[in-house]
Amino acid sequence: MDALASPLLLAIGVGAVALATLGLVSRRYQRCPHCRRLVPRAHRGWLRCRTCGRQYHRSVHLGR
Ligand SMILES: [Zn+2]
C-alpha cells in the first residue's frame, strides 16, 4: 500500500460512514417545529415532543 494512499482512503471511509450516519439520522429523526430539538420521526399521525410537550407531524423535516 502506498504511504500517501492510506490516509486518503481512511478519509474517504470516514466520510462515507459520516454520510451514512447522517442519512440514517435524518430518516429516524426530525426537528420539533416548536423548539427545534431533535425528536423521533413521526411516521404516521402525531407525536408529542418531550422537550416542549407539543405535538408534531412527520411533514416537518430536518433543517427547516
Ligand atoms: Zn418541541
pLDDT in tens, the chain (64 residues): 566 778 999 999 999 999 999 998 888 899 899 999 999 999 889 999 999 999 998 875 555 4
How far is ligand 1, taken at its centre, from the CA of residue 16, in Å?
A: 31
- What residue spans define the domains of the chain? 5-57
How far is ligand 1, taken at its centre, from the CA of residue 22, in Å?
A: 21
User: What residues does the ion ligand 1 have nearby, CB within 5 Å?
Assistant: 32, 34-35, 49, 51-52
Closest alpha carbon to 33 in 45, 41, 44 = 41
Question: Which residues touch 63 (CB under 8 Å, ≥6 apart)?
Answer: 31
How far is ligand 1, taken at its centre, from the CA of residue 40, in Å?
A: 11
In this prediction, residue 61 carries a pLDDT of: 58
Q: Is 55 left (phi over 0), alpha (psi -120 to 50) or beta?
A: beta
In this prediction, residue 4 carries a pLDDT of: 72
How far is ligand 1, taken at its centre, from the CA of residue 42, in Å?
A: 13
CB burial of residue 36 (10 Å; 0-12, 13-18, 19+): exposed
pTM metric for this prediction:
0.60
In this prediction, residue 26 carries a pLDDT of: 84
* 4: its cell numbers: 500517501
